[in-house]
Structure 1
């Protein structure tokens, strides 16, 4: 019950307030959603990745174990959703949006505070979650963009789009600077932190603006399918993979918890930026975030049996 109340007050309610502000701003001023999307893609997201990666502390063994888990988990989840969307005979645009709503999950502004709440600020579990966050930032900005552009642009043009994204360069630069203990000058570090701290607010406001522009004709069957795959199948698959790999203790718990979070805002930002099922994507994020207040406490309870 304590987990339920904490998650409701400290995760769900603040997120809903930010989304509501975005809806209100759109209704009042007709804010340009594509401008907000570009700010998230080209400014706030790369700054967040750089800061979190540069400040993190993790050993090579932890990194390799987490990466192995992620590769297996992601591959199995991808295979499951691929089978389901083929059975459902969804159109190409909806297939991509459905897939993105399941394989891209909120590993940053939802999972990071959740991890620290559940594990009492443990630095080890935080390092694990940061690795997952990095992978969940990199994939939408590479594979996600490729799938949305493959049918309407050449491979060369698609790669040019991907390589134009700052987050692609933020990751190796942060890793190199951290590995060689190169300090970031305060004149750069201060604005970077300002921008990184603004990521969550701007991303949630962007979601609110998109929801404000929606017709609110819910695609119930598709949205509910997405929510079930993300919130139920995701953590169950996480349990299976840690069992397969023989991972135990805090590592197993942190990895499973990382699989249980709702759909990422990245799916909405991609849908808006590349004009592909933006309404469905927004609905999937909004509803999965709300439903997670019921599913996350169940996952946390089950972690005690590992």
Structure 2
């Protein structure tokens, strides 16, 4: 009980405290969520990815096993979501919503700070590898599912690889592989911008949740949330042994597999007019519920 309380206070409360600040002050200060989101998406995230990965030393074989593990877990939850929706005889639109909710974990907003607090600053580089792997898979699956009735297009794949965070990946790998030292005049602004990402993302998440309002509970909301919040960690714990990951990479991978649904899923749903009210409500519910489920996962780790 003491260990659970310590995890709750020292790992989860600091994260949810910043989300709560955004939830309270966002509407009162009339913060422009779109502007802050675009700042985080187009500037802070690629800078963070470059800054962290250019300095993180991970063997190629280990990185491959990490990517294989997180991909297997999220593909497993996607398949589980699809099967559950079909067994429940849900419509194609609701089935696509189940898949999207399962596919995209909140590995950025929640995953990065919780990993940092739980495993230490050295875990950020590891968490970023998992974050990028899920980002690629999730964008492909979510955009494809949202547009399924209109057919698949290669433009979907092209849009994925134009994601700013992924564009920062090649130069980061090059600097890392060549072991170049970034000049101080460049490194210091990058450090400052990189450090701003996590607090800005958490404040934005709180503001977005405030704008969404209190979700209306339904059976589909509860079931699809359970697939993401329970299916993810169960598959992760069941399969992590197959990949022979060191302890740090194992713990971070399981944490990233246990995250609630990303807010970006609701944005994709709105852009494609795929049950946006239901998906937004589910995103809000799963993120609120995660303070309990993540505490349990952290205790098991």
Per-residue CA deviation, residues 71-128 of structure 1 (Å, 9 max, x unaligned), is 3223222211111122344455544443232222233453345445555x395x6654
Whether contact under 8 Å (1:34, 1:272) holds in the other structure is: no
**Aligned residues of 1:22 and 1:209 also touching (Cα < 8 A):** yes
TM-score, scaled to structure 2: 0.80
In the alignment of these two chains, the number of paired residues is 300
Residues 283 and 75 of structure 1, relative CA distance in 2, 3 Å threshold: same
| Preserved CA contact (<8 Å) 1:263 1:289 | yes
List aligned pairs for 1:135-154, cutoff 5 A. 135-149=133-147
Contact 1:78–1:103 under 8 Å retained in 2:
yes
Q: 2: distance between equivalents of 1:117 and 1:215?
A: 29
For the residues of structure 1 that align with 2:62 and 2:109, how far apart are their CA atoms? Answer: 22
C-alpha distance in 1 between matches for 2:194 and 2:271: 20
Unaligned 5+ segments in structure 1 are none
Structure 2: gaps (5+ residues): none
- Identify if the C-alpha distance between structure 1 residues 146 and 33 changes in structure 2 by more than 3 Å, giving closer, same or farther: farther
Instruction: Report the Cα offset of residue 157 of structure 1.
Output: 4.6
Q: Tell me, yes or no, if the aligned pair for 1:138 and 1:167 is still in contact at 8 Å.
A: no
- Is it true that 1:284 corresponds to 2:282 in the alignment? yes
Alpha carbons 1:261, 1:292 under 8 Å: kept: yes
Whether the aligned pair in 2 keeps the contact of 1:4 and 1:294 (CA below 8 Å) is: no
Distance verdict in 2 for CA 1:179–1:267, change over 3 Å: same
Q: Distance in 1 between matches of 2:37 and 2:124?
A: 28
Query: Using a 3 Å threshold, how does the CA distance of structure 1 residues 60 and 268 change in structure 2: closer, same or farther?
Result: same
Please give the TM-score of this superposition, normalised by the length of structure 1: 0.79
Moved more, 276-285 or 167-176: 276-285
What is aligned with 1:4? 4
Deviation at 1:260, TM superposition (A): 2.4
SS at match of 1:79: helix
Question: Contact 1:149–1:158 (CA<8 Å) still a contact in 2?
Answer: no
- Show CA shifts across 1:28-77 (max 9, x none): 35444433333333222222222222222211231122222223223222
Contact 2:229 2:290 in 1 (8 A): yes
1:172 and 1:15 map into 2 onto residues whose CA distance is 30
- For 2:220, the equivalent position in structure 1 comes to 222
Deviations, residues 144-196 of structure 1 (Å, cap 9, x unaligned): 34444565698355455435432231112211121112233334333333333
For 1:180, the equivalent position in structure 2 comes to 178
Out of 244, 264, 267, the position equivalent to 2:265 is 267
Question: Which one is further off, 103-112 or 268-277?
Answer: 268-277
Q: What secondary structure does 1:106 align onto?
A: coil
Higher mean C-alpha deviation, range 105-114 or range 37-46 = 105-114
